[in-house]
Structure 1
């Protein structure tokens, strides 16, 4: 049986969409469709059913899937015995991360690494939502919560600090903030409660119950701009706000939070040299980034 057919079957089973599988395989979606039809003719049964635009594994597909995964694991183990040397890394590595961390911390780091490895393509997904590892949206995911299910390897990446910030102009135009008791009367910039993608973002409730929100957004970058322009005060990651001269910390000793970033990847990715290299790069570089060090 042609391994290429099985590889296409595996990607479609994981992503559930022709377009997503095609991106992962770097081919046209018509090629994926053609390969699946050819494999179904060999097997003698349909391997997928269509539902709401997704390809769901059929009963015959479920019987085939563990055998193909075992073949993939054996293949990766063989490839993993000969790690690539610097300069030989090639292929695509997709990294998912939270929006602010992915944009401010990971983008410069990965851009520099990509310059040194011209045969390597890095897809960076800095999104204001969880990047789904189980559906293979990315090869490596940096998240606010440790994955608790699935066939994944997970590790603590780093802690980071959040503080309450405002612009000097806003503070000059509004009553002074001397303690937490002064906070409720001020205008806040924050997340939209019913669209929060992680419980780790519910830190504002630990400070006060705001009487007014000037702007709420699913995007921390949008919140950052709104606070910097004087629309209100908000809780922002220090790695995002401390380098912005338009902002100053409010109640820096009282209004401070520490959260954790976790890094994870599917277990089968451990033997892929380019993915393992990016994993090691993120862990070593981020842990020494001074912007992410919590206060002693």
Structure 2
């Protein structure tokens, strides 16, 4: 089989369950994906996929092929990782992945401090509510919520415990009143952010949402759109205490301030890539940065890495004091 590029297409369809979704994932049209799958089936003279409850699933032979394809993919990724571990220079690209919020508001300022020491290390930051595959080098370093992942080949470090709280706009509170307990929150309108693994940003017991709002008036997979909805008075929503510290969050009130759930945040890399000088430098710097900003993630306020207005990327007074104390 000369056309090796058809194999990842079969894998993508099997993972997402449709030709259209696989096309979006791969940047191809749905007809192109279908044509490439048919070419594989014509080559092997047997169906590789079948439809079950509206979803495409592999046939028995298709599943056997997928097992081989995944091993091929793992070996190809291992070659990439091996080449990365041979690089001893402090130059080149390091790929990071993070979710909106911490990836868009906190990381850029932190990494700019790092680049003051290592200007030849370039950053490629992927933002999204999904786990970027480190074994396949979709990212070199990832920030993950709740756990580092289940792969034995990953190195994970818990770097922060992030506090959350309920908030609503002053206009909303003025119109509908301030809830006095969780039971009363359940009688209010709510705003939901859809985050990792389809979970909703709300008070949870494990994966189960507890004390849900009576109705969800605004739902989004964007933290920025979520914040705008909070400010425009759609209802009550939950966000991190450090997420309150933005220039736009001036008209929000904390609801039930005694309710402060927390989530663990992990910094993760593939164990092979820790031997790359530039990737290890970024990883170690981020571990140190999270350690410096523990109070920020716990209680909000001002990050040690915020630059002072009018002073470009110069570190804040808090950051300079932390550095001086080390």
Q: TM-score, normalising length from structure 1?
A: 0.68
**How far off is 1:203 after superposition?**
2.6
Q: 2:202, 2:237 within 8 Å by CA — same for their partners in 1?
A: no
Q: How does 1:54-69 map to 2 (within 5 A)?
A: 69=78
Please say if 1:184 is aligned against 2:186: yes
1:246 aligns with 2:248: no
Distance 2:122 2:290 in 1: 20
Q: 2:216 matched to which residue of 1? A: 213
Instruction: Please state if 1:225 is matched with 2:228.
Output: yes
3-state SS of paired residue (1:287) = helix
Question: What CA deviation, in whole Å up to 9, does each residue of 1:165-208 have, x standing for no partner?
Answer: 1111211111331222221221111134xx75265846356551
Cα contact 1:96–1:124 (8 A) shared by 2: yes
2:57 maps to what in 1? none
What are the ranges of 5 or more consecutive residues in structure 2 without an aligned counterpart?
A: 13-48, 50-64, 301-326
CA spacing shift, 1:185–1:114, aligned 2, 3 Å: same
* Contact persistence 1:94–1:124 (CA under 8 A): yes
Deviations 1:40-78, CA, capped at 9 Å, x for gaps: xxxxxxxxxxx9xxxx999799689769948965x7666
Separation in structure 2 between the aligned mates of residue 132 and residue 67 of structure 1, nearest angstrom? 14
Equivalent residue, structure 2, for 1:174: 176
**Counterpart residue number, 1:197:** 197
Alpha-carbon offset, residue 294 of structure 1 = 5.7
Q: Normalising to structure 2: TM-score of the pair?
A: 0.62
User: What stretches of structure 1 move > 3 A for 4+ residues in a row?
Assistant: 56-73, 75-80, 198-202, 204-207
Q: CA deviation at 1:209?
A: 2.5
Aligned length: 236
Structure 1 residues 207 and 134, CA, compared in 2 at 3 Å: closer, same or farther? Answer: same
Match of 1:38 in 2: none
Corresponding residue to 2:297 among 280, 284, 292: 292
